[in-house]
Structure formats: C-alpha cells, structure tokens
Structure 1
Amino acid sequence: MQSIPDLIAKKRDGKALSTEEIQTFINAVTNKTVQECQTGAMLMAIYLKGMTVAETQVLTREMMSSGEVMSWPDAWAGHVVDKHSTGGVGDKVSLVLAPALAACNCKVPMISGRGLAHTGGTLDKLESIPGFNIQQTQSEILEVLTSVGCCIVGQTEMLVPADRVLYALRDATSTVDSLPLITGSIISKKGAESLSALVLDVKFGRAALYKDLVNARELAQSLVTAGNSLGVRTAAVLSSMNSIIGRCVGNSLEVIESLETLKGNGPDDLMELVTTLGGVLLMMTGVASNLSEGKTRISEAVTGGEALSKFQAMMEAQGVTKETAQLLCSENADYYQVLRKSKTCIELKTQERGVVEDIDGLCLAHVLHKLGAGRSRTGERIKHSVGAELLVALGENVSEGSPWLRLHYETPAPTPEQMAQLQNSLVLASEENTNYQKRDLVQDILLPATNHIL
C-alpha cells in the first residue's frame, strides 16, 4: 500500500489516482490517521491538477460510504427525492418545495446546511421559528417521513464524516472552488440519503458561486454524472442568480415569504423555481408523465393548500408547538406574534425617476451579512430578524422619492457607507435609454440518461 505522501506526490504531478489509492486516502481521513497538513496538501493537489470523471466518481462513492447510509421501507422505492441548490440570495425554495413534494406523495429527507459568507442557509431560516429542531436522528427522520412525508434537517454525526473533515479544510486552504471537491461534497451527502431521484439547482450570475453559464454548466454536468453513477436518478436546472429570489432576504423575512407562497401569494420567480425543480423530480420518479404535468401537479399542491398543511405538520413533527404552527399557517396571520421583529425598519427611496434595470443581489447580501443576517465562521450566532424587503420589481417604472427597499436591522445600525452601498445596488435608467429585458430565470435543464438539455 502506498503511503499518503506518495499519493500526494502522484496527484501533485498530475497523475490519476486509482480506486484503491482514493479509498486509502478517504479511509485515512475518516479514521483520522492522516495528518491535517497532509490532507490539506492533497486538497491543494486536487485543486491544482483536477480529477478525471472516473476519479471524481470514486471520490464521491468513497466519501458517501465513509459513514452510515440511510435505508427506507420497500414501499417507498422510487419515491424518495431531494433537491440541492448551489446557493443564492433570498433562496427559500426548499421551504416551499419539500412540503409540495410531500403533498404529491413523495418522501423528502431534505438534509440542508447553514449559511456561510453571503449565502443564506435553509437551517438558519427554519430556526427563526421558535422550537423548530433541525437535529434529528435517523430513526426520528424515518418517523417524520412516515407521518408527514418531508423533513428538513441538519447533517447527522454519522452521515458522510469524511466530508465534515474535508469541507472544513477546504475553507481553511482556499480550495473550496474545485469541481471534483464540490461534486464529491454535494453528491456524497445526497447519495447517503439513498434517494430515488435528485434535482440540483445550479446557479450562475453575479450572486452565485459561478458567474457565467459555461462554468455553471460544467459543474451541473459533473454533479449529474456523479449522481447517476451512484444509482440516483439525477438532473440539474441551471438558473440565473443576479438579483434576489422573491422579494425578501433574511431569515425571518424569508420564512414569512415562504408561508405567503404556501398560501398562494408567492412571487412569480420563486414559484417558477419551485414548480420547475419539483416538476423535474415528479417526472423522474414517474409520478408525472412529463415536465409540464409535473409543474402543474406541484403548482396545484401549493395553490390548493395541501403543501401548507404538510409544512404545518412538518413544523409540529420537528418540535414547533401546535399553537405556533397553526398561527403561522392561518389566513392573515400576524407573523410577528411568533417570529422576532427587528428593532428598527427604514425605507430607502429612489433618487430619481426611471425604470428598475437591475438590483445587485450580491451587494444587498453583503450589507445584510455585516448587519448580522449571516455568519463569517462556523458556529457564529446570527440575527434572524435582520433582512430586507424589495418594494419594487425589475422592469418597474418608479418615480423620484418612492420607497424601493425596506431595511430591517438591530444593533449595529447600518453605517453611511453601507447605506450608500445599498442605494447603489439599485440601477435605474430613463424610459428612453433602458436596456432592461426580462430574461428567463431557468436557462437549461440537464436530464439523466440522455444528458439532454431542454
């Protein structure tokens, strides 16, 4: 058996690692028999030299097998599904999609993450609801899925332990942005969920990990290939991420917008993502015969109220009191009876008249992050009430002095520089000189088997 330094040298020199060599490395990481500096060196070698498709598939499989792999009742075969997003601003899709899928008779063991840097985390959003418990054992997850059909939880201690080590070191060694390492991290965790089907929302644009469609498509292809190699029917949706999804950014505000969406009052872009991602999953599992039917089924589950009922049941199953869950899901709910309200709200006003040509979602997210809506390091506390509401839409005509953003904050208050940054994130053009053109949110859909792009 080759030593760890030999394996590092081989990858450093640009050579492909064998299945046995990748197994040796992942076993050493899992069993903590490799020095941290050696693990960091291997990550840097992979980052610089890359991996073949075959290497990436082996890495993913070995990471998945480093801990427990979930198992489900035979009766659920073909209907256990999940979704993963590569991260965006205002991305509350999971909160609407999971209960909508459950309403369509799918089982959704959604294992989600926390926010880091400018990207919000699904778990942080749900924890703004008093009592919501994201820590569930495998037996508790099984119980919630049996009674409700969906759950949204954090990664268990025994699920893909190799990724827990590698993920932390990738951040420390500046090797986060590596195609094989991203692929291995995402797909190994989803593979360990023993899914029938998986859909990936791969973002591209100013506020996404990948700024352009070409690189995002390369990531999508890598993820789809790795997922299918594990026997999980995997597809990817490529969606634009320049502004924000919906109208709200910030944990409590995104929960409110999700609940409003589940009550049939959701913004069009959010519903487009929910129905497209859900439609792809229903098509891949055979619940729907094609994408159009799948999208319709998901839309009807939301507008008909079945998804809202599932969300209420999920909240109660994961620790929220019945009274709190009922209040949040009631018509004309006073959300701030339950959710924390920020100490201060101010509205920013337009400085001229014109057409809303652009809103810089990344700039908005960075300011909110500094005000406490996000975290800079793992374990840091966040302020669930901090956030912002867009009061205008792209392409809208606005007059000078009209409110366009409502900012919710605690302490510290935004600095003059931060207020200027927020104001500059709004781009207006005159009606005569506007370049605004409504663009499709979903650009491509990469399906399994044929790798056909719709």
Structure 2
Amino acid sequence: MRVYDVIAKKRDGAELSQEEIQFLLNGYAAGDIPDYQMSAFTMAVFFQGMTARETAHFTQVMLQSGDQIDLSDIPGVKVDKHSTGGVGDKTTLVVAPLVAAAGIPVAKMSGRGLGHTGGTLDKLAAIPGLQVDLAPEQFLRQVREVGLAVVGQTGNLVPADKKLYALRDVTATVNSLPLIASSIMSKKLASGADKIILDVKVGSGAFMKTAEEAFALAKAMVDIGSSMKRETTALVSDMDQPLGKTVGNALEVVEAVETLKGHGPEDLRQLCLELGARMLAAAGKAADEHRGKEILTELLRNGSGLKKLREMVTTQGGNAEALENYNLLPRAQVIIPLYSKTNGYISHLHAEKVGLAAMAAGAGRSRKEDEIDLAAGIVLKAKRGDKVAVGEQLAEIHAADERRAAQATDMLAEAFTYGQPEKHPLILGFVTDTGEYRNAP
C-alpha cells in the first residue's frame, strides 16, 4: 500500500477502506508519513468529504492511537457532556456539579481556550489553588468518592488527533466537518463515558456559522457514537451572541456560581437545565427530560449543586471560599465602561467580536503557549433585544492596563448593531440516532 494511492483515491472522491485509513493514520502518528503528504490528504478530505463509514473508521483508529480511560469500576451510568466551543460558555461549571448532585458520576476531561472561544480549564484556574492535572488514579478515586472531577486530558489521550489537529491548524483544513466530528468524538470516546451529550454551537461565535452546518456536524457525531455503541445525543444551540453576560475566566466563574445560587442569567440557566436534564434521562435518573428539569431545578433551589462544586474545588486543592468571597478571585486593575451612542434596540450582538475584544483585554490566547490574564474580560450590561438610550451602559471592559482596555473597548463597540431585533431560539433543535428534530424559530 502506498500513501500516494490513498491520497489520490480520496482526491478523486472515492471511499477509503478501513485498512487504508488505518495505514494512513498509524503511519502518520508513528512519523513514517511526512507532514506534506498528510497535508495533501487533509485538503482532499476538506474538498471531497468522507462517508459516515469512513468517518467512523477514522475516529476508531484515532481513538486506538493512545490511552483510553476505563470508568468501569465507578458504579452507575457515566454520562459526558461536550460543547463545540463558544463565547461565554461556562455551562460545565453549572451542569457538572448539578448532575453529580443528582447522583450521576461526572468524570470530565476538559481543555483550554484558544482564539475567541474559552476553555473550562482556564476558568477553573481562576480559583486559587485548584489543580486540574490529576494522575489517572487520583481522577478515578475522586469521581468514586466525590462523584465529580473536572481535569485536563492525559498526555497520551488520542495522540494521533493532537498531531493531526496541529497540522490542520496551519494548513487551513480545520473547518472540515468529518475531521471536526472525528476529532471531537475520538476524545469523548477515549474519556470512557457510557453515554454522551453534545452541545453543538451555531452562529457568529461558533465554528459552525449556519444551522445546516451545525445539524450536519451534530448528525455526524451522533452517527459516530452509534457506530461505537455509545448512545449520543446532540443539541444545537445559539452562539450568535455570547452565552450569559460575562466573557473571561474569573468573571465566568462568578456567573456560574451565581447561577448555582439561583441568580444567573436566563439563557445560561435554560441551557444548563436542558443539557443536564438530558444527562439525567440518559443515565436513567429521570423518566424524561421534563422530569430531569424538575429534579435539577430543585437542586438549584436547595443549593445542592453549589455544595457539590465546593466539594470538588476543595478536593482538587482549591480555596472554596472564593465561591463566596469573589475578592479572592483574580480582579482586573482597570475597568472601563462602554456607553451607547445610539437610541434604539440592539438587533445583533456579534459573539465573535465580543470574544475577540475579550482576547484583546487579555482573556484569551492566540497560541497554545500564550499566558492569559485570568481577571480580564467583558461584562455585558445589554444584549440582543434590549432597548437602550444614548449614554446608557452597554458593557464593562476588565483589563490589566489602560492600553489593553482601550483596544478592547474599540473592538467591543463594533459588536453591537442597532435595529429591529429578530427572534433567535436558544435551542434550535437536537439530533439522536432516531432522527433530527428542529424547534420553530
């Protein structure tokens, strides 16, 4: 078998066999196939796509390239939740402790942010002392004893994907639907959960810009899960504007804690209840999503979710007092308000521009090795559909110095558009192995 022939076959739109995919990926992971040939292959996939069968084979080979987490010693059905990334998406900090408080073990491996999308590990890093780099045995012990652990990925989890993603990142082939689907699902499957709930974002702040793209990605990932005998459900949710009212790591921790106290913004609360309810139903803790929401609403009301988060933070070495005394979290040196220069309704709040403004303030990284300012970010005072007057505050910019704050302020001003607001459902629909269901706009 020759690499040249596999590339040519995909270039011409033919379906690759499992053996050809295995030969290609294993050879690349081992260093036997050079970057220039793999670049040609990923570009061929970018233009020709992959069949569902090819994508499943591709995912399976990547999955088998490294370690796989064994959660079988932990009692109960293990359900994982994953978001495809967005601006202000702090759902894990709310959903994971709520679901764990309901009696479902949550063994979550998360990542760091890159570009305008935030990472759960960066948010957790804002809590003083909290450790996310746990040894596998510590991770499993904590899930057994506490019912919840959120940590970084192990070093050898799906190494083929890490190498391939780095190549795609510099060859303009990141936005390939089958490659995105296999990248996400290989990591989720390697993490060992019995069932998987996905939150596929769509809009200006997401990888998928249109509903058609988002539903296609959701279906591809659900199909992969089904092929691997892992029940998978995908929600498609709005990321045309940021989720909640904060963007930035310490700021998002505060908003997540306030949500667990029952004071969070409605869109964040609604999405967390929807995701959590499906996790409960998948684990058999609720008869259906409606009952799941009732259970989670009560756990919010009685403080059980917040109690579980405090327990996780303490067990992972963090100072849980920071969940009550927010002054213990990183705080920005400079806070600048942004005021409206127009009377009218906000018709659009461009999520990506808000995310880029937060990056300019110091809250994000453009390269994986970049340091971030955990205190930096944006607090939104108005969102899509809100009526504002000239001089009314739209947002606050939190930064380490005046220069960063001023740069972020100029960028953030461009994120607000005025006019007649359109209705955007928070949840556009969902995909299961039985079909696709879209909500009315």
TM-score by length of 1: 0.92
SS at match of 1:296: helix
* CA distance, structure 2, for counterparts of residue 140 and residue 129 of structure 1: 20
* CA distance, structure 2, for counterparts of residue 106 and residue 415 of structure 1: 42
The residue aligned with 1:363 is 353
* Aligned counterparts, 1:290-305, within 5 A: 290-305=288-303
Question: What's the offset of the Cα at 1:418?
Answer: 4.8
Q: Does 1:246 align with 2:240?
A: no
* CA distance, structure 2, for counterparts of residue 266 and residue 106 of structure 1: 23
Amino acid at match of 1:439: H
* CA distance, structure 1, for counterparts of residue 247 and residue 406 of structure 2: 21
Question: What's the offset of the Cα at 1:139?
Answer: 1.1
* CA distance, structure 1, for counterparts of residue 413 and residue 384 of structure 2: 15
* CA distance, structure 1, for counterparts of residue 103 and residue 31 of structure 2: 41
The residue aligned with 2:364 is 374
* CA distance, structure 2, for counterparts of residue 74 and residue 145 of structure 1: 10
The residue aligned with 1:342 is 332
The residue aligned with 1:447 is 432
Assess, with a 3 A threshold, how the Cα gap between structure 1 residues 412 and 9 changes in structure 2: closer, same or farther: farther
SS at match of 1:264: coil
The residue aligned with 1:68 is 67
Amino acid at match of 1:49: Q
Question: What's the offset of the Cα at 1:437?
Answer: 4.3
Give 1:227's match in structure 2, choosing from 225, 234, 252. Answer: 225
Give 1:171's match in structure 2, choosing from 139, 161, 169. Answer: 169
Give 2:341's match in structure 1, choosing from 351, 368, 384. Answer: 351
The residue aligned with 1:286 is 284
CA contact (8 A) 1:197 1:234 kept: yes
Assess, with a 3 A threshold, how the Cα gap between structure 1 residues 48 and 163 changes in structure 2: closer, same or farther: same
Question: What's the offset of the Cα at 1:166?
Answer: 0.8
The residue aligned with 2:51 is 52
Question: What's the offset of the Cα at 1:190?
Answer: 0.7
The residue aligned with 1:25 is 24
Structure 2 unaligned spans of 5+: none
Amino acid at match of 1:28: G
Question: What's the offset of the Cα at 1:453?
Answer: 5.4
Question: What's the offset of the Cα at 1:188?
Answer: 0.6
* Aligned counterparts, 1:154-165, within 5 A: 154-165=152-163
Give 1:425's match in structure 2, choosing from 395, 415, 420. Answer: 415
SS at match of 2:205: coil
Question: What's the offset of the Cα at 1:246?
Answer: 0.6
Bigger shift: residues 64-73 or 247-256: 64-73
CA contact (8 A) 1:67 1:158 kept: yes
Deviations 1:133-165 (A, max 9, x none): 221222111011011112111111121111111
CA contact (8 A) 2:428 2:438 kept: no
SS at match of 2:22: helix
Deviations 1:194-221 (A, max 9, x none): 2121111111112111111111111110
Q: Does 1:400 align with 2:398?
A: no
Question: What's the offset of the Cα at 1:83?
Answer: 0.9
Assess, with a 3 A threshold, how the Cα gap between structure 1 residues 44 and 412 changes in structure 2: closer, same or farther: farther
* CA distance, structure 2, for counterparts of residue 67 and residue 31 of structure 1: 12
Q: Does 1:201 align with 2:191?
A: no
* CA distance, structure 2, for counterparts of residue 267 and residue 406 of structure 1: 17
Deviations 1:289-319 (A, max 9, x none): 1111112222222232111111111112222
* CA distance, structure 2, for counterparts of residue 45 and residue 387 of structure 1: 39
Q: CA RMSD in A?
A: 1.8
User: Number of residues paired by the alignment?
Assistant: 439
* CA distance, structure 1, for counterparts of residue 85 and residue 48 of structure 2: 25
Amino acid at match of 1:96: V
Deviations 1:404-425 (A, max 9, x none): 2111011362476653332232
Question: What's the offset of the Cα at 1:450?
Answer: 4.8
CA contact (8 A) 1:447 1:453 kept: no
Question: What's the offset of the Cα at 1:73?
Answer: 3.4
CA contact (8 A) 1:259 1:328 kept: no
The residue aligned with 2:374 is 384
The residue aligned with 1:80 is 78
* Aligned counterparts, 1:286-325, within 5 A: 286-320=284-318, 324-325=319-320
Question: What's the offset of the Cα at 1:38?
Answer: 2.2
* CA distance, structure 1, for counterparts of residue 293 and residue 39 of structure 2: 44
Assess, with a 3 A threshold, how the Cα gap between structure 1 residues 415 and 94 changes in structure 2: closer, same or farther: closer
Assess, with a 3 A threshold, how the Cα gap between structure 1 residues 176 and 319 changes in structure 2: closer, same or farther: same
* Identity across the alignment (%): 38
SS at match of 1:413: helix
Assess, with a 3 A threshold, how the Cα gap between structure 1 residues 335 and 22 changes in structure 2: closer, same or farther: same
Q: Does 1:328 align with 2:322?
A: yes
SS at match of 2:123: helix
Assess, with a 3 A threshold, how the Cα gap between structure 1 residues 168 and 405 changes in structure 2: closer, same or farther: same
Give 2:148's match in structure 1, choosing from 119, 141, 150. Answer: 150
Amino acid at match of 1:427: T
CA contact (8 A) 2:322 2:329 kept: no
* CA distance, structure 1, for counterparts of residue 9 and residue 378 of structure 2: 49
* CA distance, structure 2, for counterparts of residue 412 and residue 52 of structure 1: 51
Structure 1 unaligned spans of 5+: 430-434
SS at match of 2:150: strand
CA contact (8 A) 1:262 1:308 kept: yes
* CA distance, structure 1, for counterparts of residue 437 and residue 353 of structure 2: 35
Deviations 1:68-110 (A, max 9, x none): 2111235634x20111111111000011111111111112121
Deviations 1:355-378 (A, max 9, x none): 333322221211221232111111
SS at match of 2:175: coil
* CA distance, structure 1, for counterparts of residue 204 and residue 80 of structure 2: 26
CA contact (8 A) 2:199 2:236 kept: yes
